[in-house]
Amino acid sequence: MASSSFLLHQLANTFVSKPQGFCSGIGSAPKPRFNLGRDRENGLRPIRVATVETETFPLFQSTAAEESSSELEPADPDFYKIGFVRSVRAYGVEFKESPEGFGVYASKDIEPRRRARVVMEIPLELMITIRQKSPWMFFPDFVPIGHPIFDVINSTDPETDWDLRLACLLLYAFDREDNFWQLYGDFLPAADECTSLLLAKEEDLVELQDPDLASTMRQQQQRVLEFWERNWHSGVPLKIKRLAREPERFIWATSIAQTRCIGMQTRIGALIQDSNMLIPYADMLNHSFQPNCFLHWRAKDRMLEVMTNAGQGIKKGEEMTIDYMPGQNNNMLMQRYGFSSPVNPWDAIQFSGDSRIHLDSFLSVFNISGLPEEYYHASQFSEDGDSFVDGAVIAAARTLPTWSDTDVPAIPSAERKAARELQDECQKMLAEFPTTSEQDQKLLADSLSEARTTFGTAIKYRMHRKMFARKIIKALDIYQERILF
């Protein structure tokens, strides 16, 4: 590894060479810099936390066009400087902005190694952390003893209100003149740029075309609003009142806490604890179902490491990604982060009937092997290189009712009937939607300016649900063609 003096010289050259006054958005005027604690109404730089990076691994091929590299621009030099001064280190990566927001990209080829490689280091002093269970403890301990924010945090439900506690600490950090987050907050998305459904209006929730998800988000919105009303009434001390004078500000802070929180087990000295953490710079890593990086806590010097996967090479210009919530369907991703994916290998459809497809025969169509919990594509045994297998097909295999290994062998007539019944049920699901996926695509194309809002997110979510149902119908067509005839 290079010496620290060399890294200092290299980073200094990087800052000088980067263009000043870069603004988000193509062809837009530069946005003014500002202090988040003083002026929240100015425009903020969008953060792409709700984008799914699709990998070239054949299991997860996407129909979406890849992001054009011409839309990527180097991040604002101040974005680097504020972290560099506070001992943030990056090795072989660079931050870039696009109309969709920030992302982390490899600045050079990273060769596969037997051991994981560190590409970013963020010290504990820059984070906002709080213990997941009572008694509440947080490092760094930047809240003075006796501050009334402790009473607000203690009023939360220990089981469900982790996001409210983190939001309180985030707002307090914005109020501290010497806190790093007052500077870093310039790069957080404003309320109209954040895709969290906590910020969605009623008309946006209706656009989800999912009554259950819409109802869940209304309850979450009400929970956050009631908490603000209990703790930000007219009689509270000014130290608390000025943190969130309006409910919209607290709801925004909660949405930031939800979409950027990283849950990790940390060790500080002899204390081992599970913590909810807001980690600057690491929160710029976007999501992928096949990530090339992971997070690691280095206890000896209280440092969060972003590391590349052992044995995996990364090409220059390739995006660095992590998996936000392994094993979760699109419904849960929408609740927490405000995004969905058409190739989510963990998505599911709840079938109402008792029709079943034989486990072995269905999976063999797509060269899928393994147990129901660990399906994988046996591509090395594929003769025709079937590219139809992607995350949605794996998800279909997980969600379709199947015969077990102990049941009688598949009977072609019964399999054919079962497949058609499942197709009919998918067709009924599609017919219940007020719009088709083609209409949704046209609506998104006609309102490109709203594609990164909660409205655009809602349209994408319902479109992905329809695409998933149609993928199952197509999969069952292939099943009948190859197996039953």
CA 310 to chain centre: 23
Per-residue pLDDT, 70: 56
The mean pLDDT of 439-450, rounded to a whole number, is: 86
Here the tokens at position 39 are: 């002026």
What band does 452 get if pLDDT is binned at 50, 70 and 90? Answer: confident
In sequence order, what are the beta bridge partners of 307?
118, 294
223-232, 445-454, 465-474: least confidently modelled range: 445-454
Could you tell me where the beta strands, DSSP code E, fall in 28-169? 73-74, 89-90, 93-98, 101-106, 117-123, 128-131
Q: With a cut of 60, say whether residue 23 has pLDDT above it.
A: no
Q: Which region holds residue 385: left if phi is over 0, alpha if psi is between -120 and 50, else beta?
A: left
Q: Which residues of 285-317 are buried (b: 16+ CB within 10 A; e: fewer)?
A: bbbbbbbbbebebbeeebbbbbbbbeebebeee
Q: Which segments of 178-271 does DSSP mark as H helices, in order?
A: 180-184, 202-207, 211-231, 238-241, 247-260
pLDDT band at 387 (very low <50, low <70, confident <90, very high): low
What gap in Å lies between CA 457 and CA 219, rounded to an integer? 19
* Mean pLDDT value of segment 323-347: 94
Phi, psi of 96 (to 5 degrees): -130, 150
Sequence-distant (6+) residues with CB within 8 A of 168 are 149, 152, 153, 243
pTM to 2 decimal places: 0.82
SS3 of residue 275 by DSSP: strand
- Say yes or no to pLDDT of 279 above 60: yes
Q: Taking 60 as the threshold, does the pLDDT of residue 385 lie above it?
A: no
CA distance 310 to 282: 19
Residue 36 has pLDDT above 70, yes or no: no
> Does residue 60 register a pLDDT over 50?
no
Q: How many residues are recorded in the chain?
A: 485
407-426 burial, b at 16+ Cβ within 10 Å, e below that, comes to eeebeeeebeebbebbbebb
**Closest C-alpha to 459, from 310, 342, 322:** 342
Per-residue pLDDT of 345-381, as tens digits, reads: 999 998 988 888 888 888 888 888 888 778 888 765 4
Nearest to 372 by CA among 394, 395, 398: 398
Say how far apart CA 244 and CA 168 lie, in whole Å. 9
Residue with more model confidence, 361 or 331: 331
pLDDT tens digits for range 190-210? 998 899 999 999 999 999 999
Residue 33 has pLDDT above 60, yes or no: no
Cα–Cα distances (Å) from 163 to 253, 375, 393, 410, in that order, read 9, 33, 34, 49
Q: Are 459 and 437 in contact (CB under 8 A)?
A: no
Would you state the pLDDT for residue 64? 36
Tokens of 160: 């469900």
pLDDT value at position 448?
Answer: 75
In this structure, of 241-250, 360-369, 405-414, 471-480, the range with the lowest mean pLDDT score is: 405-414
Mean pLDDT for the stretch of residues 26-40: 32
| pLDDT over threshold 80, residue 75 | yes
Q: What is the pLDDT of residue 32?
A: 30
What would the mean pLDDT of 456-471 be, rounded to a whole number? 95
